[in-house]
Amino acid sequence: QSVLTQPPSVSAAPGQKVTISCSGTSSNIGNNYVSWYQHLPGTAPKLLIYDNNERPSGIPDRFSGSKSGTSATLGITGLESGDEANYYCGAWDTSLTFMVFGGGTDLTVL
Amino acid sequence: VQLVESGGGLVQPGGSLRLSCAASGFTVNTNYMVWVRQGPGKGLEWVSVIYASGSINYAESVKDRFTISRDISKNMVYLEMNSLRAEDTAVYYCARGNWNYGYYFDYWGQGTLVTVSS
């Protein structure tokens, strides 16, 4: 069972917007920064968002991140078929002293 | 930056395996390096970290069984796994850690599969 909670799956049509939630506690999201990762099976996970809402170079601005209290959200606009993947949130956990992850959300572009 | 894992395979319960992570484009002692695994049908699970200082930490589930190390001359990171259990079956990823305001993993390898089964 993962420390952070994500919905198992989300779906939306091409061109639409989708949001993926990530819920934690004061030990992790509430007092630390959140990162988001995109993972296609058999490939290397890719960093999408760090420090709650910062995008690494090369990540399009269709991807955005936000945080409020003990929850975080990943937003993806202008959905494309290539966005179909598993998405994971992560945050440092001050009590556990390591990075914890959500269980992952499977995005389907209808 | 590139990370390439190797060393995975099929091993019997109680057996041992050593995973390797070859890094290029940076030196492994300038960042912290981590091992993260994904069991079948499961999410990502942090396993171990070695900091630039050389400090080390492990998840409780692998403490006293796994050992992380690095060879700066070869620019490699290793994960020595002993007393393997069925629940250690997973794809193991090597990742580079970074830090700005918070911790995050900015580069990952493609993973190496470890299967623990008789």
CB atoms within 10 A of CB A17: 12
Paired sense of beta strands B44-50 and B32-38, if any: antiparallel
**Average pLDDT across chain B, whole number:** 96
The shortest C-alpha distance from A62 to chain B (Å) reads 19
Instruction: Return d(Cα A92, Cα A24) in angstroms, integer.
Output: 11
Q: What is the pLDDT of residue A1?
A: 80
Q: Percentage of chain B with pLDDT > 90? A: 93
Average pLDDT across chain A, whole number? 95
Contact list in B for residue A88 (CB cut-off 8 A) is 43-44
Determine the pLDDT at residue A91.
96
Which are the contacts of B29, defined by CB distance < 8 A and separation ≥ 6? Answer: B52, B54, B70, B72
Mean pLDDT, rounded, for B34-44: 93
The pLDDT confidence band at residue B113, using thresholds 50, 70 and 90, is very high
Per-residue HEC secondary structure of B22-47 comes to EEECCCCCCCEEEEEEECCCCCEEEE
Q: Tell me the per-residue pLDDT of A4-21, one tens digit each, with 9 for 90 and over.
A: 999 999 999 999 999 999
Taking residues B104-117, report their average pLDDT. 96
As beta bridge partners, residue B98 has B104
Share of residues in chain B with pLDDT > 70 (%)? 100
Q: Return the pLDDT at B36.
A: 97
| Mean pLDDT computed over B59-70 | 96
Cα B9 to Cα B112: distance, rounded to the nearest angstrom? 8
CB-CB under 8 Å, B106 with A50: yes
Q: Report whether pLDDT(A41) > 90.
A: no
Q: Is the pLDDT of residue A62 over 90?
A: yes
Residues A91-95 have a mean pLDDT of 94
Higher pLDDT, A96 or B114: B114
A22 touches chain B (CB under 8 A): no
